[in-house]
Structure 1
């Protein structure tokens, strides 16, 4: 027997499936094997003290031009006073959203604003353009299909692009007398720039993590130079996914003694003190036990709403920072408020780390004072919290003599051995500064530990939620919890129905409640469960129960006991016949009308909301991708239409089934039965004749 011919169209789905799988595997292999580009820069520094300025989440927008104007004005004036070694811009340079903030897309005008603002900043501040390093954030990758595409405006207008620093890793080295400070920038944005809100996490690759480790390892191999390493990026560790094989940055940073990781992304609305001390056990050598290594993570508030900047200093390997909120443009640029950054001793709540046993306690106090006016006096006050914050020592600070002219470093010697304590918060430091105009400025009162002990820091619940939780792991829990809840919600009524389907006592109770209890007296929970359970039962019984309830409430002549008696004896047919004697049209209006109309109205509202979401997606992605996606745009309306048609057909069949079940045998035509029951209609003559003939035949048979 010859086999049937197979049409060529049958192979099309299999061909598309294997072709898509081939493209996916090819792209995954290409991503895994792609080399990570690393750019390297070296700058000299005076002495062994350096400080940089960080700004993040600019969100320059065509609809908010004041952000770019203040970036050039406020930040330019501040940098002219601070005079940092580097300026780090850690992502989300542009907003990339429309005026209603309902869609995401790259806007070239916003990138032109950024380029012009940075040009003005360089002129006003005197900062060398090459010392500005900017990296991408997730907003800078919205809708960018690949690096180098026509929508990749970062590669055209950013400062890094002007110096061909377009790799995913930027290594910057500040070389001093005895120290070398490395700032390592990482771009962990998605390779294919999905639009928001899906583009929210950092996505490093295995090759990128290994390239970062190679850069850090290179400094470890130079044993003759002391290195301090700071990594900057856009995404916090809590919003950074693992690589393909589960690799992460945290053990790499701990293994190579990274001092701090600075980032942005979360904005100040989640908290202005998003700090976290990461601790990892590291195996340095095979024959040696594991050691505990730590590094700090500090998130900076946004420029978009709050105009935050950060000054980060490295003083002989000790890293400290302070965050400043710049004033508005209504105040003159020369009115820059005096800022005091104590570089040593460090704040034990957010900067201290356990010192190595080879490190000695430093017998000095250092502070950077940034001010428009000349400084006349700087005094350090040491307070003892165990004695009600009584002052135990007052130390005057003098300008550092070994620094170049104009460097805002103030220094003093002290006996640090006097402040060794078992508590990290016993001794507190407070600085007072007086400028040439007699204005006094005080630093923030903060605890310190000369031994490097860390005080307990208790973040708010919101800060803990967004900064301490690993959202990569929480995401899977939330995803499967939602799926399980939906499955349970959909299956629960059917499960209960299957368990109670053959329970006659339950059926009598359900029908009894449906016809004898007042709707007003029923509680909401009972209504919900009764509707879910009874709604999935035999449609004929449910429909008759529903109509019988309307019959009971509309007819004052029918007694509940009579109706209940019919159900108790199982005489459903007699009960339904008695129901047909009541006002039939009223029951249809109540039970078959308002309930289904309410459900239809709710479905229509859901459909309208769906179309609103679809229109928003079409505005963001274009009409073609959404229109060609049946699961997104067409399935809900089609399901709604199918539900309406199905429910209408089921109702018609239920009515016919009920009438067929309740029609007496002597009526062969529904119209005759309806006329007999008091419903308008006309009996056909053939029906009457056949009925009379049948009756006469039966009578003759009995006579015989």
Structure 2
């Protein structure tokens, strides 16, 4: 009959609209990552001094490490970290600056929900730094992460050991900047404190925040440091795990942003890098805790390059010219200097002498590189006019004293400004973040509520026509008939509709969110100590509850009612 056909058509249209909305959201993320300005106007700087050549000039390199999670119950983390400082940093790489991007201490108890600052863990960090004497030879810039802020009522609290045992915490409780000068070059490092205040207990202390006062301070710092060769921003949280959209605007055309926090998502995504739509490169570093990973980065004639390596893996090869096309920041870097350069430039670090370094463009003939001033820089002449437009590959190998070649380090580059796109998964992870979780949670709640409300409307209204419960109308017609029966029972329908709605609106519980202070937890945030803290993982917890508890409950109730009905009919 026509009414039944119309009802089926409307149901199919509703399902189609749901998937269209999801597709549009994913497409918006995919499109938004395109840089707003590909080739900004560049001044004429073709002089020898600013063109990458065979001299050790306009070159600065540094090291980043993140998420050490030093723990009293896992002492080998601190032992390896101390060895990393004394051997890798101080004897081999010898960087100008070392950046620590948070989660210094683990701050976790024996049970899953136990959390709080432990003095012993912070003392491990202090001993690793001061017993090695690294701060006497290198600039050490550290910033706190969410684990360094667990169960802290205030940044001024006596258990905030970051301000006691860290290098920068005793001078800067929040964000700060440091400018490294090398001759006429200036490189500015700006640390962004994205920790919430207060810091609640686990498992709700995951999302960062940037209050207006902190944002104003950072804007002032940015204005004061204008004129640097490059500004390197660093913090603990990726930008989309910070409940402040202003952070992306703050970083607009500001240089790379180095962070941690995600731990490469249990090792599934080691290289979480993306060019954000506001023109800066966001680079999440995998953790030291489990992976023992760190980053070596360099700024060579204004071009930023980096490589993520594992502790005790040698040699470290970092190509600074030509830089990786995938990691280009067209609105920030003078990329035209690649086409004007006269030499390939590579940094090589090894605990043993490097006998030879060679390179190959597009798997062509191997060319030897020359070491500059007995340092880590190796160079080889090249003619960029011979490089065709588009992307190319550069392979670099280093030989040890035993005559063994290392595994080839591969860089995809271009001399005409071709910028390959980033992986879609990385775009969703680093561009979606809290917003993606929020949208997905809302869609799941609507998917739970609207079908039952629609079925209820079909049962009670006349203009929609009688419900079509035939088996051949829908592939899951059996489930459809059971849902119709479930919705027809008032004592079950109203609670089942109310549960997802309350999950999205009402408080989940009231408890001690910070030691000595009660708080109310909602899916959209936490009210504690007179402060509102935005939600993040709570959306994920809500989705887990719906999938693992609510949906099985609906299925069980509908099947039980159907069996009861069949038994009564028999």
Match of 1:467 among 403, 421, 430: 430
Aligned partner of residue 196 in structure 2, secondary structure: coil
Q: How does 1:605-620 map to 2 (within 5 A)?
A: none
Deviations 1:135-159 (A, max 9, x none): 1111111111111212211111112
Checking the alignment, whether the CA contact within 8 Å between 1:54 and 1:311 is kept in structure 2 is yes
Equivalence for 2:9? none
Aligned partner of residue 160 in structure 1, secondary structure: coil
Aligned residues: 440
Deviations 1:196-229 (A, max 9, x none): 3222222112333333233233333x5xxx5211
Checking the alignment, whether the CA contact within 8 Å between 1:352 and 1:452 is kept in structure 2 is no
Query: Aligned-pair distance for 1:262?
Result: 0.9
Distance 1:65 1:189, change over 3 A: same
Equivalence for 2:154? 146
Query: Aligned-pair distance for 1:535?
Result: 5.3
Checking the alignment, whether the CA contact within 8 Å between 2:296 and 2:308 is kept in structure 1 is yes
Q: Distance in 2 between matches of 1:119 and 1:375?
A: 31
Aligned partner of residue 214 in structure 1, secondary structure: helix
Equivalence for 1:137? 145
Equivalence for 1:339? 316
Equivalence for 1:260? 256
Is 1:204 equivalent to 2:210 in the alignment? yes
Is 1:415 equivalent to 2:383 in the alignment? yes
Match of 1:274 among 272, 275, 278: 272
Q: Distance in 1 between matches of 2:422 and 2:517?
A: 51
Equivalence for 2:284? 299
Distance 1:364 1:118, change over 3 A: same
Equivalence for 1:62? 72
Equivalence for 2:231? 229
Equivalence for 2:485? 530
Query: Aligned-pair distance for 1:304?
Result: 1.1
Equivalence for 1:78? 88
Equivalence for 1:436? 401
Compute the TM-score of the two structures, normalised by the length of structure 2.
0.69
Q: How does 1:48-197 map to 2 (within 5 A)?
A: 48-79=58-89, 80-120=91-131, 122-123=132-133, 128=136, 131-161=139-169, 164-197=170-203
Higher relative contact order (CA 8 A, sep 6+): 2
Checking the alignment, whether the CA contact within 8 Å between 2:103 and 2:261 is kept in structure 1 is yes
Query: Aligned-pair distance for 1:417?
Result: 1.9
Aligned partner of residue 440 in structure 1, secondary structure: coil
Q: How does 1:336-415 map to 2 (within 5 A)?
A: 337-351=314-328, 353=330, 359=337, 361-383=340-362, 389=363, 391=364, 393-401=365-373, 406-415=374-383
Distance 1:367 1:614, change over 3 A: same
Distance 1:468 1:366, change over 3 A: same
Distance 1:350 1:361, change over 3 A: same
Query: Aligned-pair distance for 1:238?
Result: 1.7
Q: Distance in 1 between matches of 2:435 and 2:355?
A: 54
Query: Aligned-pair distance for 1:346?
Result: 0.7
Compute the TM-score of the two structures, normalised by the length of structure 1.
0.56
| Structure 1: tracts of 5 or more residues without a match | 1-45, 281-293, 328-335, 384-388, 511-521, 538-612, 630-704
Q: Distance in 2 between matches of 1:83 and 1:357?
A: 27
Deviations 1:19-57 (A, max 9, x none): xxxxxxxxxxxxxxxxxxxxxxxxxxx842111111111
Q: Distance in 1 between matches of 2:177 and 2:514?
A: 36
Distance 1:88 1:623, change over 3 A: closer
Q: Distance in 1 between matches of 2:64 and 2:408?
A: 20
Q: How does 1:580-591 map to 2 (within 5 A)?
A: none
Q: Distance in 2 between matches of 1:195 and 1:465?
A: 28
Query: Aligned-pair distance for 1:174?
Result: 1.7
Aligned partner of residue 375 in structure 1, secondary structure: coil
Q: Distance in 1 between matches of 2:114 and 2:514?
A: 8
Equivalence for 2:49? none
Distance 1:157 1:488, change over 3 A: same
Aligned partner of residue 99 in structure 2, secondary structure: strand
Query: Aligned-pair distance for 1:485?
Result: 5.2
Aligned partner of residue 289 in structure 2, secondary structure: helix
Distance 1:487 1:448, change over 3 A: closer
Q: Distance in 2 between matches of 1:380 and 1:196?
A: 49
Distance 1:174 1:623, change over 3 A: closer
Q: Distance in 2 between matches of 1:474 and 1:324?
A: 30
Distance 1:343 1:274, change over 3 A: same
Checking the alignment, whether the CA contact within 8 Å between 1:90 and 1:233 is kept in structure 2 is yes
Query: Aligned-pair distance for 1:133?
Result: 1.3
Deviations 1:669-704 (A, max 9, x none): xxxxxxxxxxxxxxxxxxxxxxxxxxxxxxxxxxxx
Write 1 or 2 for the structure with the bigger share of helix.
1
Aligned partner of residue 168 in structure 2, secondary structure: helix
Aligned partner of residue 215 in structure 1, secondary structure: helix
Q: Distance in 2 between matches of 1:184 and 1:251?
A: 15
Q: Distance in 1 between matches of 2:213 and 2:519?
A: 34
Checking the alignment, whether the CA contact within 8 Å between 2:274 and 2:427 is kept in structure 1 is no
- Say which one has the larger Rg: 1
* Range moving further from structure 2, 73-82 or 143-152: 73-82
Is 1:312 equivalent to 2:297 in the alignment? yes
Equivalence for 2:30? none
Checking the alignment, whether the CA contact within 8 Å between 1:381 and 1:394 is kept in structure 2 is yes
Query: Aligned-pair distance for 1:130?
Result: 6.2
| Structure 2: tracts of 5 or more residues without a match | 1-55, 470-476, 493-507, 523-570
Distance 1:495 1:368, change over 3 A: same
Query: Aligned-pair distance for 1:494?
Result: 6.4
Q: Distance in 2 between matches of 1:150 and 1:131?
A: 27
